[in-house]
Structure 1
């Protein structure tokens, strides 16, 4: 059976298994997540929530399924992890990568789908994909990264044993064989799915992403003001906070008027020294965050291992050029530097140099702000994602 369109009919024998009896039309789709309720805007930066809402606009009866584990189940998975000889798990996510966890998540998801009479499932990660071919359910995947792409930049990379790395990569291959179609945020992830995991090109489509609640900015903006913004939320070091602080200190030696606004949480404050020119906010309402994005001259966000970074899109939507590392999805978002600055070295001195270079040319920043906003408006929205998925 063809995966799309999502309005499809089943033979009577199969329809009985889902509808109770008779021949009927199915128009339902589940969007799943192992990390939280897909209808919670806090799950995976709100991507599942926004995809569900945009699919519903197209007339598809999309709903969410949380395929995660209880605290007790996670404790048992920790035992399994140790028994496999992988050592101590470096993260909670590592527990979900072992075979027994994947199988359990897939079985739990399939059970819920059967009870709800749902046949099509859009996964927002690989950890609840079936590990064997599944005839009764049709599986799709929407992802922003792959295990192999993320590995080199993982902060706890050395904590993964060689056997764990090899096993996890093999499990990804097995799971991806059972997917009808893969949708990716970025083209670079699509290319990796094809080259590394061997998926046929016609089974993988880059559909991009949308954003949160930040609205486009059309007001006045002064690019001569050296006001930098860094948005850490609860992941200060992983978002590159340590590098930002040191880069700011170095750059301020030549630009004493430089300021840095940090949006983090209470845990972030432990990493932030009492330096002149720095102000810190804990979690902010969307309207206040939107104001900061609009008033800042640049977003300095050298994220160590963020695969895409919706905050980049939200900054560009606010006509705020971006400084970040030349890795993962940022080169694609910035169109190789048209709308911001790509730093090739993961060093504070390199980030400081990029800051000073950018501030030296306010007219260039203004042009980048305009081109970046135009690019985002033309390219990225959740409605476009949903339309691309449903139009295949």
Structure 2
């Protein structure tokens, strides 16, 4: 008899790395051949801007989800509940209600962690420590990488599963043209935590050194909007070299990768970074930071370069190196593309997540 899995998952909208990966799990057709599945969709906001804001409407949504959860446990009778928990803030306390409810009915729980910050949260707070230990007691946990598993080492004594994220394969064909100007790309939500200011400061350094380049910024408005980005460009005398193109999706986003030479992602807070996989698939060398899982994704000096967070001088130096050493830059991009197809495709992710389900329910 097939085992039953209940998915309790945040799904788009809005589109985030976590909701996108949750959607991939739900749409994994190979699961239907082995398990019987049901899904409770969680969505608290229609866009990224409202994602972190409080509203009474969200309280009503939480109550409805709790009701659906209890109903599904009683009627569907799952052998396992798969849940992507939010690791920090109000969202963690909210998700703790769901975990507690599942535990009351003595159901197996598989928690998929797509964020980080727990280790810092529990330091110096016995109350926070007790909450996380309760949430993670007698449950199975998936972490995104070997590096990220250290984030829960203090509150989770078992060995977590490690499943790297993956994205769908696309046919992206880049042509190597003889260009006078290197083309740089920053693609992310315009949050301070994504390193947009460090990116602009590094470009200012390159401009002052007369390094030839053009650059684009793409992403949804968040902490910064179009007007504030344009103002930041003006104060750095970058308006002739840097263009903000707004949010991009689908073919428009693919075209940006195709028409770029170097991908720059100087993030200050990241658990994984799906956009890095997109850049690798497109054959771009990546300049990023020693943050979250990124040192596992990017092989420093082989598929790109890593710098310390907020080190704009080092960031500028690495970008300059790639601009001046085009053949090596191309070779790094090809090495990254090879690593993508070896480790980070959606097919590989689906096989690995299936192994986890099978291990727990065998």
**Which residue of structure 2 aligns with residue 324 of structure 1?**
288
CA contact 1:227–1:259 (8 Å) conserved in 2: yes
Shifted more, 273-282 versus 242-251: the winner is 273-282
TM-superposition CA deviations, 1:273-292 (whole Å, max 9, x none): 23221111122231011111
Aligned ranges 1:183-194 → 2 under 5 Å: 183-193=142-152
Cα displacement (A) at 1:232 = 2.4
Residues of 2 paired with 1:39 and 1:360: CA distance? 41
Residues of 1 paired with 2:301 and 2:81: CA distance? 37
**Which residue of structure 1 aligns with residue 48 of structure 2?**
none
Q: Secondary structure at the match of 2:131?
A: helix
CA contact 2:148–2:271 (8 Å) conserved in 1: no
**Which residue of structure 1 aligns with residue 227 of structure 2?**
270
CA contact 1:227–1:298 (8 Å) conserved in 2: yes
Residues of 2 paired with 1:294 and 1:367: CA distance? 16
TM-superposition CA deviations, 1:301-344 (whole Å, max 9, x none): 11111210000000000001111111111100013442111012
**Which residue of structure 2 aligns with residue 363 of structure 1?**
327
Cα displacement (A) at 1:55 = 5.3
Cα 1:210–1:29 shift into 2, 3 Å: same
Corresponding position: 1:65 with 2:40: yes
Corresponding position: 1:199 with 2:169: no
Cα displacement (A) at 1:358 = 2.1
**Which residue of structure 2 aligns with residue 141 of structure 1?**
111
| Count of residue pairs the alignment pairs up | 324
Residues of 2 paired with 1:362 and 1:339: CA distance? 14
Residues of 2 paired with 1:345 and 1:147: CA distance? 16
Q: Secondary structure at the match of 1:238?
A: helix
Q: Secondary structure at the match of 2:321?
A: helix
CA RMSD, 1 decimal: 3.3
How high is the TM-score relative to the length of structure 1?
0.72
Residues of 1 paired with 2:119 and 2:64: CA distance? 23
Cα displacement (A) at 1:26 = 4.5
**Which residue of structure 2 aligns with residue 295 of structure 1?**
259
Shifted more, 245-254 versus 43-52: the winner is 43-52
CA contact 1:147–1:169 (8 Å) conserved in 2: no
Residues of 2 paired with 1:341 and 1:31: CA distance? 38
Cα displacement (A) at 1:170 = 3.1
Residues of 1 paired with 2:64 and 2:272: CA distance? 25
CA contact 2:215–2:242 (8 Å) conserved in 1: yes
Structure 2 residue aligned with 1:307, among 252, 256, 271? 271
**Which residue of structure 2 aligns with residue 28 of structure 1?**
4
Which blocks of at least 5 consecutive residues in structure 2 are unaligned? 46-51, 87-91
Cα displacement (A) at 1:40 = 4.8
Residues of 2 paired with 1:215 and 1:151: CA distance? 39
TM-superposition CA deviations, 1:130-187 (whole Å, max 9, x none): 24844542210112333325769xxxxxxxxx98x653343222101131x2112212
TM-superposition CA deviations, 1:212-252 (whole Å, max 9, x none): x562434423486411100123x332211111111111111
Corresponding position: 1:226 with 2:182: yes
CA contact 1:232–1:264 (8 Å) conserved in 2: yes
**Which residue of structure 1 aligns with residue 99 of structure 2?**
130
Which blocks of at least 5 consecutive residues in structure 1 are unaligned? 1-24, 71-90, 153-161
Structure 1 residue aligned with 2:134, among 171, 174, 192? 174
**Which residue of structure 2 aligns with residue 74 of structure 1?**
none
Cα 1:68–1:220 shift into 2, 3 Å: closer
Cα 1:216–1:236 shift into 2, 3 Å: farther
CA contact 2:6–2:82 (8 Å) conserved in 1: yes
How high is the TM-score relative to the length of structure 2?
0.78
Residues of 1 paired with 2:177 and 2:184: CA distance? 13
Cα displacement (A) at 1:68 = 6.2
